[in-house]
Structure 1
Amino acid sequence: MILADLFSMILRLAELAFGAIVAGLNGDYLHAAQHADSWQLHRFIYAEVVAGVSIFFAVVGLFPFSGCFIHWPVDFIISVAWFVAFGLLVDWLSGNCGYVFDWDGLAFDGSASCAQWKATIGFSFLSAICWLVSAMLGIYWVHRHTAPVGGSYSRRPWYRLRI
C-alpha cells in the first residue's frame, strides 16, 4: 500500500507543478491583455480558474490526513475541466503558430509567444492526464478496500487456501 501512497504523492506534486506552470504562463498573457474585452479572454480566464482550482486541490491532496484516494470524483472532474481547457486553448491557437505539437524551430528568447502558448497547451494536457491517472488510482483503491453493500468483505491473500 505504501507504493500506491508514494505514487499518489508523486502525482499530486506533478499536478501542483503543472497547474502552477499553466497559471503562470496564462497569467502573464492575461496581464498583457488586461485592457481587452473579457469576452475575448474567456478561454484564458477559464484556464486560469481551472489552474487555480487544480493548485488548491493538489495542495489539499498532499496533506497526509486527507485520505486522497476517496476523492477520486473530484480528481475526475478536474481532469475533465483540464481537457476542456486544453481543447479551448488548442482551438484558439488554430494553426497560427503551426501544428500544436510541432516544437521544431521554437526559440525561448522572451518574445516567443508561440512557444509560450505551446508550453501552456502541453502542460494543460499533462495536467489533465495526471488528474485522470489519479482518479483511476482512487477508483482502484476504493474498489479494493470497501465492502459490498449488505455483506461483509474480507480478502484473503492469494497464498492462503481454504481447506
Structure 2
Amino acid sequence: MSLREQLNEDLKSAMRAKDQARLSVIRSIKAGILAQETRSERTTLDDEGILQVIVKEIKERKDANSEFEKAGRQDLVEKNLKEIEILSSYLPEPLSEDELAQLIDAAITACGATSPKDMGKVMAIVNPQIRGRADGRHVADLVKARLSR
C-alpha cells in the first residue's frame, strides 16, 4: 500500500473513531501534499515526495515548540508533541548510530573527502539515503566530526 493510500485509509479511520488529533494531522499532511503538487505544476507526489512533506511538517512543529516553550505555553507544546508522534508513525524506521556511521564513512570514501571543506560533497551523497530516517542537523554534526579528525 502506498503512503498516499495509507493516509486516506487512516483519514477514514480517524473520522470513524472521532479522533480529532489524528484527523487534524492527516488533513495537515494532505494539505501539504496538495500545496507541493500545486507548486510543482500539478505533478503527483510519489512516496518519497510525501515523506518530504511529512518531514517538513515535523520540522515546523519542532521549531514552533521551542517558541511555545519560551512563551510558557506548555499546553501547545504537549499538543505539538502528540502531533509529532502521529507524524513520525508515517516515517520509515530511523537509522541507528552505527548505520549512520557506516553511511557517512562510505560517503567519505566514495568522494575522497579529507577535510571539513569537503562536507558538502559528503552530505550530497548521504542526504538521499537518510531522508526521513535521520535528522539532517545531527548527520551534519557527525560528518563534521568525522572530517575534523
**Into which bin does the TM-score normalised by the smaller protein fall?**
0.3 to 0.5
Larger helix share, 1 or 2: 2
Q: RCO higher in 1 or 2 (8 Å CA, sep ≥ 6)? A: 1
Bigger CA radius of gyration: 1
Q: What TM-score comes out, normalization by structure 1 length?
A: 0.33
